[in-house]
Structure 1
């Protein structure tokens, strides 16, 4: 056993070591080098073959005929060599046409030498000094860490480096897909990933020109330059220092905010508030977190529980399912059978490391696939058979806050709660589908020539509930959309509604 571990560590070290020349060659291949027409067409064919072999819901929301046409048209449109970025702009909208939120094209990361990486960690580039929000199809600054005070929260950005933001948003929206025909997911995803998309399209710069609309409705212009991290950190709210005193089981903090939070919203403790930013938070102990919060609720006799799933993009099925067990007093089935094509094979599609691990372990995903009496292939997952409720389950009222970024495991939780009429849903339609999504295991397969990668799920994940509305998410019982002013001032109208109407 020790010999095997030693051998694996040596192999891993060899995989990780790259010379400066290799790094430069790789970076050039994804930034400035142009790939031949024939190589790019091979990547297109490989992408479609991969998806047909592995994606269990390829034609849920688009016919085979239409998707065939899109891939054929893409190949015909490639008439000259392209860089990886140029190819990314062509391939991504075709993959997004599948309308599967778990299926996407990934752009490869630039590799850095050790000293370059160390230097980068000390910098905050201009486009990363702000968080963004979209309102009425316009781009606004939500929060700022910049020393440039001309671009402050609430400022509308009309152009970046001479490119109109409307054009930028149109480009970015083509990169994204929700589950089915949902319309709330795209803007939320662009808000979260605006800086990353901008980096892919326009690359990182030390100085960026922003044109913005002033308070007097005229157009202002300013340059935002790179900050040293030490400077950027001095602008942080000193209150955030106290967050180290939070219980360890809440896991990591992001932008100074706990990713899991529990508190009471009123002095009488009639309303408990549970915030879960993700079901896959690094370092979080979900079991301990759930136990302590439901013990606290039971101890004070809280009547109402608010579960905030806004911005929760999903994560672990286990943590989603275990939370559900606290919200029902009956045995429950959480998932339908996780159907799969069963054709994805590491020996064919895996990278060098995955193929090596297959050689060591002798198995991959196909070995976990079963077949029922009707010939359907599926993978066993806990929750497809009946499970008992948690003995300390909550019996009061439940309110669930949702928005366009409520996705995947968070949507599964929402759909199951909706299916048993257990909660009142407030906010916006979820970005994740009600009836199904494709997840379970999500391989990332690199294209040989362009170095782009395709990420998709291998299993159909369906809650034990069904909506008659095809291709949409969980709809709120009370629809509330935050205005720009609400976002800037921190006004939470969903919470306000619950406190004013929850006891009714």
Structure 2
């Protein structure tokens, strides 16, 4: 019998939790620009009523967060998400264990082992195919988890990637914990088998209490990342002179001193007269729009703008005492945006300004943009701008970020007064291009999906396919 890992958390009275949901509805109705973009008002009202009426007894924070996350996911906005309270964040490590012991990669109806927390596990090696957990099929497991995840429209590949990033935590949050799990899998002979696997609980003496050192030399010895390593984790470029190709990996458009990095990189590419450029955006969840624009300017063949429309329904920040930070965003929206005849608040600069391609260090060779479910927000905006350009090939899987548009730009946080839950609140609705299909992410020109064989061998099929394309062009 499963035991909730959060069972010892304090519970909050139902009446106060219902008040939090009622207040959330009022705040979203007053401020969210796309509350009814995908889900009609009568349906959203019904989801709110159902959530409020379902709170009939006291709940702890994990159980309440699941209810609010389920509700918010119905908006189908990837930038409107639910996080635990700040207070829970301080005590969360106390509830980390016991933990589901396998890291799993999810796509379609597949669950494949990436690794086992048990070092001597001889059954669940990398690449092993899972067919069920505790009697639930893969599809049942994923569908149960997916209903608590927000995404742009129906771009469910984002949910696959998010769950793959930390399957044990997602499984525990939704299903609770067991002391053992019954897992059905395909063995090396191709036969379906079942076995029991213990939940992971670390030994007490394996958790160190040593205070962290401030000596930079100790960072290298202890394995903690240095400043250089942290920068490389956000952006790095490697050159393969044999194939005349630069491989650039950008995991975020925030931080990382990106603009100087882009300038140095494209200068080097030009000096070495490289013919091919691969930009890996699979881990890039977005960030600062100006950095995304800067990279696009080195690649775009013609002037471009960010969107056909960038609008908010209000800049008054109603219920502002529950929105943090409200004042800086209020100031920017009142200085940089104007109310138009349609009654909406327009961010005119992004609607009207065309960014010109850079003349210096501009790259005109073959470009391969590698994307996946985690390619989101400013990263998907960049791909949407460049897709269809003659020298651009988009490779990988559907993005998590919407091709038609998204709700973002300014994203303060709602803090519900009693539970402390935090809900992100995008203030602008961006239509990137009204001619794009609405409802999904960007579909690649060359689709390359995961496979158990590639995971087992430790190869990257997307990069391998790009290398093959480059070799054919070179011949």
Give the structure-2-normalised TM-score. 0.81
Select 2:355's aligned residue among 377, 387, 390. 387
Written as runs of structure 1 = structure 2, the 5 A alignment for 1:188-207 is: 188-201=161-174
- Corresponding residue for 2:235? 260
- Distance, in Å, in 2 between the alignment partners of 1:48 and 1:30 is 29
* Matches of 1:310 and 1:362, distance apart in 2: 30
Q: Does the alignment pair 1:500 with 2:474?
A: no
- The residue correspondences of 1:265-414 to structure 2 (distance < 5 A) are 265=240, 267-281=241-255, 284-343=256-315, 345=317, 348-350=320-322, 354=325, 358=327, 364=331, 366-368=333-335, 370-374=337-341, 375-379=343-347, 384-390=352-358, 391-414=360-383
Quote the Cα distance in structure 1 between the aligned partners of 2:99 and 2:234.
Answer: 24
Note the C-alpha offset of 1:401.
1.0
How many residue pairs get aligned? The number is: 448
Q: Classify 1:109/1:209 alpha carbon distance in 2 versus 1 (closer, same or farther; 3 Å).
A: farther
Do the aligned partners of residues 496 and 350 (structure 1) sit closer, same or farther apart at CA in structure 2, a change above 3 Å counting? same
Aligned ranges for residues 66-105 of structure 1 at < 5 Å? Answer: 66-105=43-82
Residue 248 of structure 1 and its aligned partner are, at CA, apart by: 5.4
Q: 1:210 to 1:260 in 2, by over 3 A?
A: farther
The answer to whether the aligner puts 1:483 opposite 2:451 as a matched pair is yes
**Is 2:202 aligned against 1:226?**
yes
Structure-2 residue corresponding to 1:462: 431
CA contact (8 A) 2:131 2:186 kept: no
What is the CA-CA distance between 1:156 and the residue it aligns to?
Answer: 4.7
Note the aligned Cα RMSD (angstroms): 3.7
- Corresponding residue for 2:156? 183
d(CA) in 1 for partners of 2:61, 2:36: 27
The Cα of 1:402 is off from its aligned counterpart by: 1.2
Deviates more, 1:335-344 or 1:307-316: 335-344
Structure 2: runs of 5+ lacking an equivalent = 1-5, 209-218
1:105-164 deviation digits (Å, cap 9, x = unpaired)? 222355588xx89xx69x985638753211452433313454342443234556778987
Q: Secondary structure at the match of 1:400?
A: strand
Q: Which has the higher mean CA deviation after the structures are superposed, 195-204 or 178-187?
A: 195-204
Give the drift of 1:274.
0.8
TM-score normalised over the length of structure 1 = 0.77
* Aligned counterparts of 1:477 and 1:429: Cα–Cα separation in 2: 10
